[in-house]
Chain A
């Protein structure tokens, strides 16, 4: 229950400044327009659109998801938080916030993307939805724990994508493959191995970040 209170506190402080939401929204528009400008009138193949979709998601996540912990350090409120709540409570509260943020952000990206790119046609929508949900969960877990690490280190902005990329690489590669499967209209039966990889990734990253968060938070 306490983690829900923490989540509500994060939401209300976010709504007061709208820093992360504004940054994410602008970043989505900027990345999309850069890609649209660079393509021009060229008709790109459908396999390329599946990959570009994840490029946008990766860079947008890297711009805004570190806010949850970095803002606490910048405002100097992390010590107070350490006094009033257990590490696991803090972690689950922040995780909940990032999960909501990732889902909102990626839904907006998916809608805008399918509106702007004619070649982004999903033949198997159920498969896309399943892989989308699983990948978003993994993305939120991994980005939350890396955000906790970099909030304690110097050079926060540049370090975040550098540290996140190798950790997210298995997830992104498999998700690109799954998106291509969904565009080709592949059945669940053929894609079950990739879905299992993403599912395992979610479980592993959640367990390890939950176990290790204590060490980061007490530092």
Chain B
């Protein structure tokens, strides 16, 4: 039982990767394995199965860092700080992945790696916040002080960042699918994708999310065990 879900997760991610890359995009999808042709995205549309989950997990990780920061400030339990730290560690990895995959896609879709589209600005701001958060943590020696100050900073950053992720890309005119002036590839998830494309997209989202929570659990447990061992070694 303990390993069954891991095998299932492995199979799910394998299926999503193979299906996402190899299923063809055609004008009129007939067979179950064919994807529809989305105007303005064409063959580039396949990135949706990998780029969107990484961007989604960046935000989820940020949300979890903020939640465990609030928890830490309420209860002052250092385990919550370890959980926030593990979430942010994964968050910065997924943030870099989302930035890089987005930039590579932009090279082929828009013609340049970086063009300060509102979405690119928002992911860049997230990257800066993660970087600043780790810089703040590394500058403080005392454990409790580090946990408190970084929790406060994470919460402040969390309440200002929705300006980027949820407001600015939608009101500003931009190149990214889903911007304010986007007429040809508007809300893609709702009606431009057909059934099987939606299915694989949501399967990929679920698969990556489970993978994230698994990695996060391993991450925070290892941090807590390491701290306990360190304390044991010091006390002798």
Contacts and interface: CB of A to CB of B under 8 A. Distances in A.
A163 B153 contact: yes
A199 B168 CA distance: 15
A167 B132 CA distance: 10
Nearest to A152: B149
Contact of B156 (A154, A169, A208): A208
Contacts of A159: 135-136, 139
A125 interface: no
Interface residues of B, number: 29
Interface of A (DSSP majority class): helix
A198 to B, nearest CB: 10
A193 B129 CA distance: 25
A197 B167 CA distance: 9
Interface residues of A, number: 28
A204 B151 CA distance: 17
Contacts, number: 77
B132 A166 contact: yes
B140 A162 contact: no
B56 interface: no
B155 A219 contact: no
Interface in A144-165: 145-146, 149, 152-155, 159, 162-163, 165
B132 A173 contact: no
Contact of B155 (A152, A153, A163, A208): A208
B157 A167 contact: yes
Contacts of A165: 128, 132
B103 interface: no
A166 to B, nearest CB: 4
Given A167-B156, A212-B155, A216-B152, 17 more contacts: A149-B149, A149-B153, A152-B140, A153-B140, A153-B149, A165-B132, A167-B160, A169-B128, A197-B163, A200-B163, A201-B163, A204-B159, A212-B152, A212-B156, A215-B73, A215-B151, A219-B148
Interface of B: 73, 121, 125, 128-129, 131-132, 135-136, 139-141, 144-145, 148-149, 151-153, 155-157, 159-160, 163-164, 167-168, 171
Interface of A: 145-146, 149, 152-155, 159, 162-163, 165-167, 169-170, 173, 193, 197, 200-201, 204-205, 208-209, 212, 215-216, 219
12 contacts: A153-B149, A155-B139, A163-B132, A167-B160, A170-B125, A170-B168, A173-B168, A193-B171, A197-B163, A212-B73, A215-B148, A215-B151
